[in-house]
Amino acid sequence: MVAISRASLPERLGLISGCEVTARAPLAPLTSVRVGGPAEALVRPRSPEALVALLRQVREEGVPLTVLGGGANTLVGDGGIPGVTLKLPSNLFPEVVEVGEEEGRLTLGAGAAIVRLINQMRSNKLVGAEFLAGIPGTLGGAVSMNAGTKNGECFRVVEAVEVATADGVGWLSRAEIPYRYRHAGLPAGGVVTRVRFLLPKGDTVASKKAMDEDLGYRKRSQPLSQPNFGSVFTNPPGDFAGRLIESVGLKGHVSGRAQVSTLHANWIVNLGGATARDVLTLLSLMQARVREERGVELQPEVKRVGVFLP
């Protein structure tokens, strides 16, 4: 008992059967922008039961919980993330494919990459999720962010979402989840474990053409060769964050090793060795300039997690 009470958080969590725990795990490599400090305890549950046991312990101990998907929309502070950083393995659940005459249901794990949905859609001659092609990250992140483009948003093709909390695991239908532009109202402390997509059968040639065109557009207009985390601000109603930032002269502006992309002003790129402070300095400057000169309050799309050092 004495040994347990003196154990560190990673040691205590390591006692949960079926959880892989890494103390002081570097997180920058787990994010697309490659910035930020370590996790106090990075936990990968190897079964749904282990996940619920972890969520119970987190609740009982009052430990902070951060869920990390593919890290494609996340800025981790330079001081790292205290408490538990949870990462669902991509293969925590088997994929379930049910295809009928007119439509198909694809049930995929939340830790799986978004591209799994695209691949399953194509191999089962389904259509409708083209707008998610080319978006990096996991299906859990896509649901949580209601990811999408001008051509559609994730919830358009979601039928139901399975959510785990300390009380267990259960399915919520789309109608039970309030969602809007780049936001889903998931239960507090809930972790998306599986997502069921409902897609119609349709013109697969047109579907592939739409995805190829979209990917071509991304290659031309986005700085994909440099570490980044996509659009940093959401588009204000009736306007574009990138247009506003460019109009106040910040395209290409540099802070430390972070830069407002020269290709797309709503993107920040890591020039190599950027810190979260470099990125935050740019975010604050972009927000302040657009507020002062254009009277628009830009809303961050990127999620900030962990400790930001002054």
Ligand X SMILES: Cc1cc2nc3c(=O)[nH]c(=O)nc-3n(C[C@H](O)[C@H](O)[C@H](O)COP(=O)(O)OP(=O)(O)OC[C@H]3O[C@@H](n4cnc5c(N)ncnc54)[C@H](O)[C@@H]3O)c2cc1C
Active-site residue list: 182, 231, 301
Interface pick for ligand X out of 41, 54, 88, 195 (rule CB under 6 A): 88
How far is the C-alpha of 267 from the C-alpha of 290, rounded, in Å? 15
Residue in 45, 48, 69, 77 binding ligand X, rule: CB under 6 A: 69
Q: Angle CA(5)–CA(12)–CA(190) in degrees, nearest 5? A: 125
Q: Which of 57, 138, 226, 255 binds ligand X (CB under 6 A)?
A: 138
Could you tell me if 58 and 39 are in contact, meaning their C-beta atoms sit under 8 angstroms apart?
no
Residue 261 in contact with ligand X, rule: CB under 6 A: no
Which of residues 147, 161, 195, 260 is near ligand X by CB under 6 A? 147
Identify which of residues 48 and 70 has a Cβ nearer to ligand X in the complex. Answer: 70
Binders of ligand X among residues 148 to 207 (CB under 6 A) are 148-149, 191-192
Q: Does 92 bind ligand X (CB under 6 A)?
A: no
Q: Which of residues 278-307 bind ligand X (CB under 6 A)?
A: 303
Tell me if 77 sits within 8 A of 277, measured CB to CB.
no
CB of 175 to ligand X, least distance (A): 19
Token pair 């031309």 is found at 220
Nearer to ligand X, 99 or 172 (CB): 172
CA angle 93, 99, 104 (to 5 degrees): 80
Is residue 32 involved in binding ligand X (CB under 6 A)?
yes
What is the closest distance, in whole angstroms, from the C-beta atom of residue 52 to ligand X in the complex? 14
Q: Residues 6 or more apart from 128 whose CB is under 8 A from it?
A: 121, 156, 157, 199, 200, 202, 207
Interface residue with ligand X among 10, 48, 71, 104 (CB under 6 A) is 71
- Cβ nearer to ligand X, comparing 118 with 289: 118
Instruction: Assess contact for 251 and 266: CB atoms under 8 A.
Output: no
Q: What is the DSSP letter of 7?
A: S
**How would you label 141-179 residue by residue, b for 16+ Cβ within 10 Å and e otherwise?**
bbbbbbbbeeeebbbbbbbbbbbbbbeebeeeebeebeb
Select from 35, 117, 135, 211 the one that contacts ligand X (CB under 6 A): 135
Q: Which 8-state DSSP code applies to residue 80?
A: -
HEC readout, 231-261? ECECCCCCCCHHHHHHHCCCCCCEECCEEEC
Q: Which residue, 34 or 253, has its beta carbon nearer to ligand X?
A: 34
By beta-carbon proximity to ligand X, the closer residue of 67 and 279 is 67
Site residue total, ligand X (CB under 6 A): 31
Footprint of ligand X on this chain (CB under 6 A)?
Answer: 32, 67-74, 88, 110, 135-138, 140-142, 144-145, 147-149, 191-192, 222, 224, 228-230, 303
